[in-house]
Amino acid sequence: MSETLTVNLAERSYPIHFHADIAPVVRPEVDALVAAGRKVVIVTDRNLARSQRDAVYAMFGEQPTLVLEPGEETKSLTELGRVLDFLAEQRVDRGGALFAAGGGVIGDLAGFAAASYLRGIAFYQVPTTLLSMVDSSVGGKTGINLKAGKNLVGAFHQPRGVFIGTRLLATLPPREFAAGMAEVIKTGLLGDADLFARLEKNPLTVDSPELAAVIRRCCALKAGVVEADEHETAKEGGRALLNLGHTFGHAIEQVTGYGAYLHGEAVAIGLAAAARLSLKLGHVDASVVTRVETVLAAHALPVKMRAPLPLGPLMAAMARDKKVRAGALRFVVLKSIGNAATQGGVDPALAEESFREVGAI
């Protein structure tokens, strides 16, 4: 696989590079920036620095690197401060560039730091997990978590380029690969029925020959959504559709302290809950719920909570969701496989019932 897809956003447009080995594409970009007198720094996590040491060196050489702890807990105000201090210590000026090499946590955190430092410097995404390749590295959403909720602080800050190398997935733990599949399945559900049907027929693994094509397909769909609604301002539909399953999933993450579930695992349970809510609203029949839960399970993803969680805190967390408008929550619901929509005015009792069916008490 060797090709490029462009995210078309006028002066903020940027390429997504797809290769098996991405180092021969990243290194010339780094070298060109350095040759132009621009300071280049790297933010990554300990897992990548340890498991892909040679690949990291091949991409970045001896450029200054900040290594953070892996995990959702790193998307915090404290760690944001560490990244900003690192940029200042390295004397990065407005011509500098930050490369975020890692999963969605590193991309979101480092991207927000790049958006904030000196009111904005250039940054590049080098996603190294399936989840970050198909979702979080594309679109310019950056941010951190608060105790009150997921991704409540952040900025839209588009990268200058995204570099996707599928060989980096070779050392990804199976649980992390499965978590990434939640976002792939979400993509099929919200806008690509053929992709969903393919996943039903042949569950995807890290060794699947079609993996690279599926990653590109997910990026192309997300790029189209972002191009049409970059800042999520559409009154209906638009970029909010990418949050299918996330309203429920983010609440699960927040209530469990961001440590019990990987993001993709919480999203998987959220997709099951969203399918059940769609059934209760009369948009789909029970067979759709069965299909959603079957394909999630086939990819080693949960469809119910591992241990019961109290309904009250879950609903309270949901009430702080970013999609709340004028105090009213909007949900992303399924109209059919491959067709999603935003919907307000949902009876909270239906959301509560959907939560109970996936493990809330």
Task: For the chain, give the mean pLDDT.
Answer: 95
pLDDT at 326 over 70: no
Q: What are the pLDDT digits (tens) for 65-115?
A: 999 999 999 999 999 999 999 999 999 999 999 999 999 999 999 999 999
pLDDT tens string 328-353: 788 999 999 999 999 988 999 999 99
Residue 9 burial class via C-beta count within 10 angstroms: exposed 0-12, middle 13-18, buried 19 and up? middle
Of 157, 246, 299, 323, the active-site residue reads: 246
Q: Given 239, 276, 322, 330, which residue is catalytic? A: 239
Select which of 3, 69, 210, 236 is catalytic. 236
Q: Does domain 2-171 have CATH number 3.30.70.890?
A: no
Active site residue 8: no
Q: Kindly state the DSSP code that residue 304 receives in the 8-state scheme.
A: S
Please report which confidence band the pLDDT of residue 149 belongs to, taking 50, 70 and 90 as the band edges.
confident
Annotation says 243 is catalytic: yes
239 is catalytic: yes
119 belongs to the catalytic site: yes
Residue type, 169: L
Portions of the chain given CATH number 3.40.50.1970: 2-171
Predicted confidence (pLDDT) at residue 323 exceeds the cutoff of 80:
no
Tell me if residue 353 is catalytic: no
Model confidence over 177-212: pLDDT tens digits?
A: 999 999 999 999 999 999 999 999 999 999 999 999
CATH for 174-357? 1.20.1090.10
Query: Which listed residue (243, 276, 293, 330) is catalytic?
Result: 243
Percent of the chain with pLDDT over 90: 92
For residue 322, name the pLDDT band (cuts at 50, 70, 90). Answer: low
| Segment 52-61 mean pLDDT | 96
DSSP notation for 159-195: -SEEEEEGGGGGG--HHHHHHHHHHHHHHHHHH-HHH
Q: Which of 157, 216, 250, 276 is catalytic?
A: 250
299 is known as an active-site residue: no
Report the DSSP beta bridge partners of residue 339: 336
Query: 261-279: per-residue pLDDT in tens?
Result: 999 999 999 999 999 999 9
Active site residue 62: no
Q: Tell me which of 11, 62, 119, 235 is the catalytic residue.
A: 119
What is the structure's pLDDT at 321? 76
- pLDDT value of residue 275: 98
| Neighbour tally for 326: CB within 10 Å | 5
325 belongs to the catalytic site: no
* 337 close to 348: Cβ distance less than 8 angstroms: no
Tell me the two tokens of residue 24.
Answer: 């021969």
* CATH 1.20.1090.10 location in the chain: 174-357
Select which of 39, 75, 141, 157 is catalytic: 141
Radius of gyration over every alpha carbon of the chain, rounded to an integer in angstroms? 20
Separation of alpha carbons 162 and 34, rounded Å: 18
Residue-wise pLDDT for 1-52, tens only, equals 458 999 999 999 999 999 999 999 999 999 999 999 999 999 999 999 999 9
pLDDT at 254 over 70: yes
- What pLDDT band is residue 327 in, cutting at 50, 70 and 90? low
Q: Which of 29, 183, 232, 253 is catalytic?
A: 183
In this predicted structure, what is the pLDDT of residue 325? 66
